[in-house]
Amino acid sequence: MSAVIRDVHPNVRAFLDMIAWSEIGTRLLQNSDDGYDIIVGGGKFEGYNDHPRKVVDLGNGLRSSAAGRYQILSRYWDHYRIQLQLPDFGPLSQDRYAVQQLKEQRALGLIEAGLFDEAVAKCANIWASLPGAGYGQHENKMQHLRDAYLAAGGDLGED
């Protein structure tokens, strides 16, 4: 498991790997293009020309268009594709989108400093699988997220 983007701090790559693990899990990461071609609910999509824009009924009144390694919602994709001049929905574009989300949440500096718990808290409103997200979906335990981050090569600072 490894983010494609290379021009970021190693802790940021590890944090991206942790988000992917949290959002889609080990099995889907292993049985896909490292999660970049996954649709919410476990399906796959073909081609990276654009966000697949498929809405999936998750039950209990929940519907989602989340897709890719970071489960990006289609309603946000067009804005960021233009803002970041992303050529497609490919792996590097998905990584750049996710890094932009970390910047906007003011989590990037925390991640680079290894302040993991604080960074996760800043990002919980973006990714439903993070503790405290409150979207009515499964939220992973902080220790499991920390373990995934460390396994991906992340470093913890002095929290």
Q: How confident is the model at residue 134 (pLDDT cuts 50, 70, 90)?
A: low
Residue 83 lies in a domain: yes
Q: How many domains does the chain have?
A: 1
**27-57 pLDDT, tens per residue?**
989 999 999 999 998 889 999 999 999 998 8
CA dist 76 to 1, 16, 52, 116, 130, Å?
A: 25, 18, 13, 25, 19
- Would the pLDDT of 4 be above 90? no
Within-domain flag for 3: no
The answer to whether residue 4 is domain-embedded is no
Domain assignment present for residue 159? The answer is: no
The b-or-e profile of 79-104 (16+ CB within 10 A means b, else e) is ebbeeeebeebbbbbbbbbbbebbee
In a domain, 104, yes or no: yes
Percent of the chain with pLDDT over 70: 96
Considering the domain boundaries, does residue 157 fall inside one? Answer: no
For the residues 113-129, what does the mean pLDDT come to? 93
pLDDT surpassing 60 at residue 159: no
Residue 44 bridge partners (DSSP): 38
Query: Is 1 inside a domain boundary?
Result: no
CATH of the domain at 44: 1.10.530.10
Output the pLDDT for position 109.
Answer: 95
Is 28 domain-assigned?
yes
Residue 104: give the domain boundaries.
10-151
- Return the half-sphere exposure (C-beta side, CA atoms, 13 A cut-off) of residue 90: 8
Task: Outline where 9-90 has alpha helix (H).
Answer: 10-30, 74-83
* Residue 86: pLDDT over 70: yes
User: How many angstroms separate the CA atoms of 108 and 79, rounded?
Assistant: 20
Residue with token string 């039950």? 59
Catalytic residues: 23
Segment 61-76 shows an average pLDDT of 91
